[in-house]
A = this chain, B = another copy of it.
């Protein structure tokens, strides 16, 4: 009987191909199948970006590419069936003894489709080992690019993904030293109002597309009011900067 392949989650970082780790590169080189998450929503194009980054760091020619389609929807049933279908494809390759590297923007354990797939793949192919290669996160790269420490000494950090309401954010801004707000593009103007009303707009920076040619680091965030922001925009509020 053939041994099962290993299912790898590989973080490729936020954009700069030099931010892949040696381990990520070695796993991508060794894997037989590269699993590429794709969003059906062509306007955001978010999930195939991982492939653009990986291809710049590693020669993927000759690899078997496995496209996995995940619809951009809140509909639980279609999400569930898309994930099940993806898991079945991955499990099929693992059962055939092939190692599968699922590439993911940033880190596979933070807001990534990979983490939804793991239990589903384990259901179908429980014998296949699962290994994760951590990646540089977008907020980690953002604070590095801006040379703003995320936290020092006994400061606490809170990371908030895209979905939230402004009143809750205001409460969190009061309680935490550092607040990372990911994917702020849709609520930026109301976030800006909240920051100005709390006297915190001077303590905030906006970073978008860190590591890409179109990278933007903005310290005067008031200048962005009313403009169109990139989907990959993060605001970091750090008291005292």
Contact = CB atoms under 8 A, between A and B. Distances in A.
Interface of A: 9, 13, 16-23, 25-26, 57, 107-112, 115-116, 118, 130-137, 140-141, 143-145, 147-164, 176
A5 B13 CA distance: 27
A129 B107 CA distance: 29
10 contacts: A18-B26, A22-B57, A109-B147, A110-B157, A118-B147, A133-B144, A134-B136, A134-B140, A154-B163, A157-B159
Contacts of A141: 134
B147 A132 contact: yes
Question: How often does this chain occur in the complex, in copies?
Answer: 2
A152 B111 contact: yes
Given A116-B152, A150-B110, A22 B23 contact: no
A169 to B, nearest CB: 10
A14 to B, nearest CB: 9
The 9 A-B pairs of least Cβ separation, nearest first, read: A115-B149, A154-B163, A132-B144, A18-B23, A134-B144, A157-B159, A109-B143, A134-B140, A18-B22
B57 A148 contact: no
Contact of A140 (B107, B143, B144): B107
Given A13-B21, A20-B22, A137-B140, A109 B158 contact: no
A46 to B, nearest CB: 15
B57 A110 contact: no
A22 B18 CA distance: 5
Given A19-B21, A20-B22, A154 B161 contact: yes
A21 to B, nearest CB: 5
Contact of A19 (B23, B111, B112): B23
Contact of A156 (B16, B23, B161): B161
Contact of A130 (B140, B147, B156, B158): B147
Nearest to A148: B109
A115 B156 contact: no
A158 to B, nearest CB: 5
B158 A158 contact: yes
A133 B144 CA distance: 6
Contacts of A161: 151, 153-156
